[in-house]
Structure 1
Amino acid sequence: MQTTLMIYDGTAAPDADVLRTGGVPLAPEGFTWPVCGGCGGPLQFFAHLPVEYGVVLVFVCQNDPGACEMWDATSGANRVLLFPPAGLVPVAVPAEGVTLLPAVSAITLRLVTVDPDEGDGDEGVPPDAYDLARSGWAREPGERFGKQREVLGSLGGSPSYLEDDRLPECPSCSGATEFAAHLEEGLDQQSAMNLGGQLGYVFVCRPCAKGAFLTD
Protein backbone atom coordinates (compact mmCIF):
# COMPACT_ATOMS: atom_id res chain seq x y z
CA MET A 1 0.00 0.00 0.00
CA GLN A 2 1.64 3.22 -1.18
CA THR A 3 0.91 6.87 -0.45
CA THR A 4 2.63 9.99 -1.80
CA LEU A 5 3.12 12.16 1.27
CA MET A 6 3.81 15.90 1.08
CA ILE A 7 6.60 16.69 3.56
CA TYR A 8 7.77 20.09 4.83
CA ASP A 9 11.05 20.99 3.13
CA GLY A 10 12.02 24.38 4.50
CA THR A 11 11.09 27.66 2.89
CA ALA A 12 10.66 28.74 -0.73
CA ALA A 13 10.42 31.98 -2.67
CA PRO A 14 6.86 33.33 -2.49
CA ASP A 15 6.47 33.09 -6.27
CA ALA A 16 8.30 29.78 -6.80
CA ASP A 17 6.64 27.36 -9.22
CA VAL A 18 7.05 24.45 -6.82
CA LEU A 19 4.87 22.50 -4.45
CA ARG A 20 4.28 24.87 -1.55
CA THR A 21 1.84 26.32 0.93
CA GLY A 22 1.76 30.09 1.25
CA GLY A 23 3.35 32.66 -1.00
CA VAL A 24 1.45 34.24 -3.88
CA PRO A 25 -0.64 32.44 -6.50
CA LEU A 26 0.68 31.88 -10.01
CA ALA A 27 -2.13 32.22 -12.52
CA PRO A 28 -2.78 33.31 -16.13
CA GLU A 29 -2.69 37.00 -17.02
CA GLY A 30 -5.94 38.73 -16.12
CA PHE A 31 -6.62 36.52 -13.08
CA THR A 32 -9.14 37.95 -10.61
CA TRP A 33 -8.56 37.16 -6.93
CA PRO A 34 -11.49 35.07 -5.63
CA VAL A 35 -13.76 36.44 -2.93
CA CYS A 36 -15.84 34.73 -0.25
CA GLY A 37 -19.47 34.05 -1.04
CA GLY A 38 -20.31 34.77 2.60
CA CYS A 39 -18.48 37.90 3.76
CA GLY A 40 -17.45 39.18 0.33
CA GLY A 41 -13.81 39.58 1.36
CA PRO A 42 -10.84 38.16 -0.55
CA LEU A 43 -9.98 34.55 0.20
CA GLN A 44 -6.64 33.58 1.70
CA PHE A 45 -4.26 31.71 -0.59
CA PHE A 46 -3.36 28.35 0.94
CA ALA A 47 -1.52 26.15 -1.54
CA HIS A 48 0.19 25.96 -4.95
CA LEU A 49 0.17 22.33 -6.09
CA PRO A 50 1.76 21.48 -9.45
CA VAL A 51 0.45 18.05 -10.46
CA GLU A 52 0.73 15.98 -13.63
CA TYR A 53 -2.37 17.52 -15.20
CA GLY A 54 -1.80 21.19 -14.26
CA VAL A 55 -1.44 23.49 -11.27
CA VAL A 56 -4.02 23.37 -8.49
CA LEU A 57 -4.60 26.52 -6.40
CA VAL A 58 -6.45 26.42 -3.08
CA PHE A 59 -8.08 29.49 -1.45
CA VAL A 60 -10.00 29.57 1.85
CA CYS A 61 -11.76 32.44 3.68
CA GLN A 62 -9.95 33.66 6.80
CA ASN A 63 -11.36 37.18 7.13
CA ASP A 64 -13.35 36.25 10.23
CA PRO A 65 -12.52 32.61 11.09
CA GLY A 66 -15.61 30.66 12.05
CA ALA A 67 -18.06 33.19 10.61
CA CYS A 68 -17.91 31.83 7.06
CA GLU A 69 -18.28 28.09 6.52
CA MET A 70 -14.86 27.53 4.99
CA TRP A 71 -15.13 23.80 5.80
CA ASP A 72 -18.14 23.32 3.49
CA ALA A 73 -17.55 22.61 -0.21
CA THR A 74 -20.74 24.45 -1.23
CA SER A 75 -20.55 27.52 1.04
CA GLY A 76 -18.60 29.78 -1.31
CA ALA A 77 -16.03 30.34 1.45
CA ASN A 78 -13.30 28.44 -0.40
CA ARG A 79 -12.16 27.91 -3.96
CA VAL A 80 -10.11 25.36 -5.90
CA LEU A 81 -8.84 26.32 -9.36
CA LEU A 82 -6.91 24.35 -11.97
CA PHE A 83 -4.68 25.96 -14.60
CA PRO A 84 -2.39 24.65 -17.35
CA PRO A 85 1.23 24.84 -16.20
CA ALA A 86 2.47 27.19 -18.95
CA GLY A 87 2.22 30.97 -18.89
CA LEU A 88 1.49 31.42 -15.19
CA VAL A 89 2.62 34.64 -13.50
CA PRO A 90 2.50 36.00 -9.92
CA VAL A 91 -0.79 37.80 -9.41
CA ALA A 92 -1.54 41.11 -7.70
CA VAL A 93 -2.54 40.64 -4.06
CA PRO A 94 -5.55 42.63 -2.76
CA ALA A 95 -4.59 45.47 -0.43
CA GLU A 96 -7.33 44.59 2.08
CA GLY A 97 -8.38 41.34 3.73
CA VAL A 98 -6.55 38.28 5.04
CA THR A 99 -4.97 37.06 1.82
CA LEU A 100 -1.55 35.48 2.48
CA LEU A 101 -0.01 33.10 4.99
CA PRO A 102 2.80 34.63 7.08
CA ALA A 103 5.33 32.07 5.82
CA VAL A 104 5.97 29.91 2.76
CA SER A 105 6.53 26.17 3.20
CA ALA A 106 8.29 24.22 0.47
CA ILE A 107 7.07 20.66 -0.05
CA THR A 108 8.95 17.56 -1.04
CA LEU A 109 7.23 14.32 -2.05
CA ARG A 110 7.96 10.97 -0.43
CA LEU A 111 6.42 7.71 -1.62
CA VAL A 112 5.74 5.72 1.53
CA THR A 113 4.96 2.02 1.47
CA VAL A 114 3.14 0.56 4.48
CA ASP A 115 1.91 -2.89 5.34
CA PRO A 116 -1.91 -2.89 5.49
CA ASP A 117 -1.70 -5.52 8.21
CA GLU A 118 -0.36 -2.79 10.49
CA GLY A 119 -3.78 -1.17 10.53
CA ASP A 120 -5.82 -1.56 13.71
CA GLY A 121 -9.15 -0.28 12.40
CA ASP A 122 -12.58 -1.77 13.01
CA GLU A 123 -13.11 -5.34 11.94
CA GLY A 124 -14.21 -5.52 8.32
CA VAL A 125 -13.08 -1.95 7.57
CA PRO A 126 -10.03 -1.76 5.30
CA PRO A 127 -7.09 0.24 6.69
CA ASP A 128 -6.79 3.82 5.52
CA ALA A 129 -3.71 4.34 3.34
CA TYR A 130 -3.11 7.98 4.25
CA ASP A 131 -3.60 7.43 7.97
CA LEU A 132 -1.15 4.52 7.96
CA ALA A 133 1.43 6.43 5.92
CA ARG A 134 1.22 9.55 8.09
CA SER A 135 1.53 7.52 11.28
CA GLY A 136 4.33 5.44 9.83
CA TRP A 137 6.32 8.53 8.87
CA ALA A 138 6.81 9.43 12.52
CA ARG A 139 8.16 5.99 13.35
CA GLU A 140 10.74 5.70 10.58
CA PRO A 141 14.35 5.98 11.78
CA GLY A 142 17.20 7.74 10.03
CA GLU A 143 17.60 11.04 8.21
CA ARG A 144 15.09 10.26 5.46
CA PHE A 145 12.07 10.70 7.69
CA GLY A 146 11.02 13.46 10.04
CA LYS A 147 8.32 13.97 12.62
CA GLN A 148 4.64 13.42 11.94
CA ARG A 149 3.98 17.17 12.17
CA GLU A 150 6.17 17.65 9.08
CA VAL A 151 3.53 15.85 6.99
CA LEU A 152 1.64 18.58 5.14
CA GLY A 153 -0.72 16.18 3.38
CA SER A 154 -0.60 13.89 0.37
CA LEU A 155 -1.14 13.90 -3.38
CA GLY A 156 -3.52 11.56 -5.16
CA GLY A 157 -4.81 8.35 -3.70
CA SER A 158 -8.19 8.38 -1.99
CA PRO A 159 -9.77 10.73 0.57
CA SER A 160 -9.07 9.53 4.09
CA TYR A 161 -12.18 8.32 5.93
CA LEU A 162 -14.48 10.56 3.88
CA GLU A 163 -17.98 9.12 3.49
CA ASP A 164 -19.37 8.81 -0.04
CA ASP A 165 -22.20 11.22 0.71
CA ARG A 166 -19.65 13.98 1.38
CA LEU A 167 -17.82 13.63 -1.93
CA PRO A 168 -18.33 17.04 -3.59
CA GLU A 169 -19.71 17.79 -7.03
CA CYS A 170 -18.06 20.18 -9.46
CA PRO A 171 -19.32 23.73 -8.77
CA SER A 172 -19.66 24.34 -12.52
CA CYS A 173 -21.05 21.18 -14.14
CA SER A 174 -22.33 19.38 -11.02
CA GLY A 175 -20.48 16.30 -12.19
CA ALA A 176 -18.22 14.09 -10.13
CA THR A 177 -14.86 15.42 -9.00
CA GLU A 178 -11.64 13.49 -8.49
CA PHE A 179 -9.59 13.57 -5.32
CA ALA A 180 -6.40 15.62 -5.68
CA ALA A 181 -4.82 16.10 -2.25
CA HIS A 182 -5.02 16.10 1.52
CA LEU A 183 -3.88 19.23 3.37
CA GLU A 184 -2.67 19.33 6.97
CA GLU A 185 -2.53 22.59 8.91
CA GLY A 186 1.26 22.92 8.92
CA LEU A 187 4.40 22.89 10.98
CA ASP A 188 4.02 25.99 13.17
CA GLN A 189 1.92 29.10 13.75
CA GLN A 190 3.62 31.11 11.02
CA SER A 191 3.23 28.54 8.26
CA ALA A 192 -0.02 26.90 9.36
CA MET A 193 -3.19 27.01 7.28
CA ASN A 194 -6.22 27.43 9.53
CA LEU A 195 -8.22 24.25 9.02
CA GLY A 196 -9.89 24.30 12.41
CA GLY A 197 -7.70 21.41 13.52
CA GLN A 198 -9.17 19.22 10.77
CA LEU A 199 -7.87 17.50 7.66
CA GLY A 200 -8.47 19.34 4.39
CA TYR A 201 -9.60 17.64 1.18
CA VAL A 202 -8.96 19.04 -2.31
CA PHE A 203 -10.98 17.82 -5.31
CA VAL A 204 -10.79 18.85 -8.96
CA CYS A 205 -12.89 18.66 -12.11
CA ARG A 206 -10.42 18.58 -14.99
CA PRO A 207 -12.88 19.51 -17.78
CA CYS A 208 -14.11 22.59 -15.89
CA ALA A 209 -10.68 23.51 -14.43
CA LYS A 210 -12.33 24.01 -11.06
CA GLY A 211 -12.72 21.99 -7.92
CA ALA A 212 -13.95 21.82 -4.38
CA PHE A 213 -12.52 21.99 -0.86
CA LEU A 214 -13.82 20.76 2.48
CA THR A 215 -12.57 19.59 5.85
CA ASP A 216 -13.57 16.64 7.99
Structure 2
Amino acid sequence: MTHTARNLLRTTTAALAPDPHANPLVPKIAAGTAPRATLAALALEQTWVIPADRRAFEHLAARAQATDPEAAAFFTTLAEGEALAGERLAAFVQACGAQEASYEPLPGCQAYPAYVAWLALNAAPADVVLALTANFSAWGGYCATIATALREHYGFTDEACGFFDFFAEPSPELDEMATVAVQTALDARRLDGKRAHAYGRLLQNYEASFWSTLGQLT
Protein backbone atom coordinates (compact mmCIF):
# COMPACT_ATOMS: atom_id res chain seq x y z
CA MET A 1 0.00 0.00 0.00
CA THR A 2 2.88 2.39 0.73
CA HIS A 3 3.88 2.16 -2.91
CA THR A 4 0.85 4.27 -3.87
CA ALA A 5 1.82 7.17 -1.61
CA ARG A 6 5.44 7.04 -2.74
CA ASN A 7 4.36 7.20 -6.37
CA LEU A 8 2.07 10.14 -5.70
CA LEU A 9 4.78 12.03 -3.84
CA ARG A 10 7.29 11.31 -6.59
CA THR A 11 5.01 12.30 -9.47
CA THR A 12 3.78 15.43 -7.70
CA THR A 13 7.33 16.52 -6.93
CA ALA A 14 8.33 15.98 -10.56
CA ALA A 15 5.28 17.83 -11.88
CA LEU A 16 5.94 20.83 -9.63
CA ALA A 17 9.71 20.99 -10.10
CA PRO A 18 10.71 24.59 -10.85
CA ASP A 19 12.33 25.66 -14.08
CA PRO A 20 16.10 25.32 -13.48
CA HIS A 21 16.56 28.80 -14.94
CA ALA A 22 13.78 30.43 -12.91
CA ASN A 23 15.95 31.25 -9.89
CA PRO A 24 18.10 34.31 -10.68
CA LEU A 25 19.88 34.53 -7.33
CA VAL A 26 21.26 31.11 -6.43
CA PRO A 27 23.47 30.87 -9.56
CA LYS A 28 24.97 34.26 -8.69
CA ILE A 29 25.69 33.14 -5.14
CA ALA A 30 27.18 29.91 -6.53
CA ALA A 31 29.50 31.96 -8.75
CA GLY A 32 30.40 34.36 -5.94
CA THR A 33 29.00 37.37 -7.81
CA ALA A 34 26.03 38.17 -5.58
CA PRO A 35 26.75 41.27 -3.46
CA ARG A 36 27.03 40.86 0.28
CA ALA A 37 24.17 43.32 0.64
CA THR A 38 21.94 40.82 -1.15
CA LEU A 39 23.11 38.06 1.18
CA ALA A 40 22.15 40.33 4.07
CA ALA A 41 18.69 40.81 2.58
CA LEU A 42 18.35 37.03 2.20
CA ALA A 43 19.28 36.60 5.86
CA LEU A 44 16.85 39.24 7.06
CA GLU A 45 13.96 37.96 4.96
CA GLN A 46 14.48 34.58 6.58
CA THR A 47 14.20 36.14 10.04
CA TRP A 48 10.59 36.84 9.06
CA VAL A 49 9.92 33.59 7.17
CA ILE A 50 11.18 31.06 9.72
CA PRO A 51 9.09 32.06 12.77
CA ALA A 52 6.00 32.53 10.59
CA ASP A 53 6.36 29.06 9.07
CA ARG A 54 7.01 27.54 12.49
CA ARG A 55 3.76 28.92 13.87
CA ALA A 56 1.86 27.83 10.75
CA PHE A 57 3.17 24.27 11.13
CA GLU A 58 2.27 24.26 14.81
CA HIS A 59 -1.26 25.32 13.90
CA LEU A 60 -1.53 22.59 11.27
CA ALA A 61 -0.32 20.03 13.81
CA ALA A 62 -2.94 21.18 16.31
CA ARG A 63 -5.71 21.03 13.70
CA ALA A 64 -4.71 17.55 12.60
CA GLN A 65 -4.09 16.02 16.03
CA ALA A 66 -7.54 14.55 16.63
CA THR A 67 -8.47 13.33 13.14
CA ASP A 68 -5.15 12.96 11.30
CA PRO A 69 -2.36 12.11 13.78
CA GLU A 70 0.03 11.04 11.01
CA ALA A 71 -0.15 14.50 9.45
CA ALA A 72 0.11 16.05 12.92
CA ALA A 73 3.38 14.20 13.52
CA PHE A 74 4.73 15.50 10.20
CA PHE A 75 3.88 19.11 11.02
CA THR A 76 5.21 18.84 14.56
CA THR A 77 8.54 17.67 13.16
CA LEU A 78 8.52 20.55 10.66
CA ALA A 79 7.85 23.06 13.42
CA GLU A 80 10.69 21.65 15.52
CA GLY A 81 12.97 21.91 12.49
CA GLU A 82 12.04 25.54 11.94
CA ALA A 83 12.91 26.27 15.57
CA LEU A 84 16.35 24.69 15.11
CA ALA A 85 16.87 26.54 11.83
CA GLY A 86 15.97 29.80 13.52
CA GLU A 87 18.70 29.24 16.08
CA ARG A 88 21.25 28.70 13.31
CA LEU A 89 20.04 31.69 11.32
CA ALA A 90 21.47 34.19 13.81
CA ALA A 91 25.05 33.33 12.83
CA PHE A 92 24.29 33.90 9.14
CA VAL A 93 22.67 37.26 9.91
CA GLN A 94 25.73 38.29 11.91
CA ALA A 95 28.19 37.10 9.25
CA CYS A 96 26.36 39.20 6.64
CA GLY A 97 26.56 42.29 8.83
CA ALA A 98 22.80 42.63 8.44
CA GLN A 99 21.01 45.43 10.29
CA GLU A 100 17.80 43.79 11.46
CA ALA A 101 16.33 46.74 13.35
CA SER A 102 16.13 49.02 10.30
CA TYR A 103 15.19 46.42 7.68
CA GLU A 104 11.89 46.61 5.79
CA PRO A 105 10.78 43.15 4.53
CA LEU A 106 9.96 42.82 0.84
CA PRO A 107 6.42 41.85 -0.23
CA GLY A 108 7.71 39.53 -2.94
CA CYS A 109 9.65 37.57 -0.34
CA GLN A 110 6.93 37.45 2.28
CA ALA A 111 4.22 36.12 -0.05
CA TYR A 112 5.45 32.55 0.60
CA PRO A 113 5.02 32.52 4.40
CA ALA A 114 1.75 34.42 4.03
CA TYR A 115 0.43 31.63 1.82
CA VAL A 116 1.72 28.94 4.19
CA ALA A 117 -0.28 30.71 6.91
CA TRP A 118 -3.34 30.64 4.63
CA LEU A 119 -2.88 26.90 4.16
CA ALA A 120 -2.61 26.46 7.92
CA LEU A 121 -6.01 28.09 8.34
CA ASN A 122 -7.89 26.75 5.35
CA ALA A 123 -6.43 23.60 3.79
CA ALA A 124 -6.88 19.97 4.76
CA PRO A 125 -3.66 18.96 6.58
CA ALA A 126 -3.01 15.88 4.43
CA ASP A 127 -3.26 17.96 1.26
CA VAL A 128 -0.68 20.35 2.71
CA VAL A 129 1.66 17.45 3.51
CA LEU A 130 1.70 16.51 -0.17
CA ALA A 131 2.08 20.09 -1.41
CA LEU A 132 4.87 21.01 1.00
CA THR A 133 6.84 17.81 0.47
CA ALA A 134 6.87 18.46 -3.27
CA ASN A 135 7.99 22.05 -2.69
CA PHE A 136 10.77 21.20 -0.23
CA SER A 137 12.72 19.21 -2.82
CA ALA A 138 13.92 22.33 -4.67
CA TRP A 139 14.55 24.29 -1.46
CA GLY A 140 16.98 21.67 -0.16
CA GLY A 141 18.98 21.81 -3.38
CA TYR A 142 19.18 25.59 -3.26
CA CYS A 143 20.43 25.46 0.32
CA ALA A 144 23.14 22.94 -0.53
CA THR A 145 24.41 25.19 -3.33
CA ILE A 146 24.37 28.28 -1.13
CA ALA A 147 26.17 26.55 1.75
CA THR A 148 29.00 25.50 -0.55
CA ALA A 149 29.28 28.92 -2.17
CA LEU A 150 29.31 30.81 1.12
CA ARG A 151 32.38 28.84 2.16
CA GLU A 152 34.19 28.90 -1.18
CA HIS A 153 33.51 32.46 -2.35
CA TYR A 154 32.60 34.48 0.72
CA GLY A 155 34.77 32.91 3.42
CA PHE A 156 31.88 32.15 5.77
CA THR A 157 32.50 29.83 8.71
CA ASP A 158 30.72 26.53 9.26
CA GLU A 159 28.65 28.21 11.96
CA ALA A 160 27.54 30.96 9.57
CA CYS A 161 26.56 28.32 7.00
CA GLY A 162 24.69 26.18 9.52
CA PHE A 163 21.26 27.47 8.52
CA PHE A 164 21.72 26.26 4.94
CA ASP A 165 23.49 23.07 5.99
CA PHE A 166 20.44 22.18 8.08
CA PHE A 167 18.00 22.42 5.18
CA ALA A 168 20.41 20.84 2.70
CA GLU A 169 20.68 17.66 4.77
CA PRO A 170 18.33 14.89 3.57
CA SER A 171 15.73 13.82 6.12
CA PRO A 172 14.63 10.21 5.54
CA GLU A 173 12.58 10.35 8.74
CA LEU A 174 10.56 13.33 7.50
CA ASP A 175 10.13 11.71 4.09
CA GLU A 176 8.77 8.59 5.76
CA MET A 177 6.38 10.67 7.87
CA ALA A 178 5.09 12.34 4.72
CA THR A 179 4.63 8.97 3.03
CA VAL A 180 2.68 7.58 5.99
CA ALA A 181 0.50 10.69 6.23
CA VAL A 182 -0.30 10.68 2.52
CA GLN A 183 -0.98 6.93 2.48
CA THR A 184 -3.28 7.18 5.49
CA ALA A 185 -5.23 9.96 3.80
CA LEU A 186 -5.43 7.98 0.56
CA ASP A 187 -6.72 4.91 2.38
CA ALA A 188 -9.35 7.02 4.14
CA ARG A 189 -10.30 8.71 0.85
CA ARG A 190 -9.71 12.17 2.27
CA LEU A 191 -6.79 13.29 0.14
CA ASP A 192 -7.75 15.73 -2.61
CA GLY A 193 -4.93 15.36 -5.11
CA LYS A 194 -6.20 18.16 -7.33
CA ARG A 195 -6.27 20.65 -4.47
CA ALA A 196 -2.88 19.49 -3.20
CA HIS A 197 -1.42 20.04 -6.66
CA ALA A 198 -2.92 23.54 -6.77
CA TYR A 199 -1.46 24.31 -3.34
CA GLY A 200 1.93 23.03 -4.48
CA ARG A 201 1.80 25.09 -7.67
CA LEU A 202 1.11 28.25 -5.68
CA LEU A 203 3.89 27.43 -3.20
CA GLN A 204 6.27 26.98 -6.11
CA ASN A 205 5.28 30.34 -7.59
CA TYR A 206 5.54 32.16 -4.28
CA GLU A 207 8.99 30.66 -3.73
CA ALA A 208 9.98 31.81 -7.21
CA SER A 209 8.80 35.28 -6.20
CA PHE A 210 11.06 35.10 -3.14
CA TRP A 211 14.15 34.41 -5.23
CA SER A 212 13.30 36.77 -8.08
CA THR A 213 12.65 39.62 -5.64
CA LEU A 214 16.06 39.15 -4.07
CA GLY A 215 17.60 38.66 -7.49
CA GLN A 216 16.53 42.16 -8.45
CA LEU A 217 18.79 43.51 -5.70
CA THR A 218 21.95 42.20 -7.39
Q: TM-score, normalised by structure 2?
A: 0.25
Q: Which has the higher strand share?
A: 1
Q: Which has the higher helix share?
A: 2
Q: TM-score, normalised by structure 1?
A: 0.25
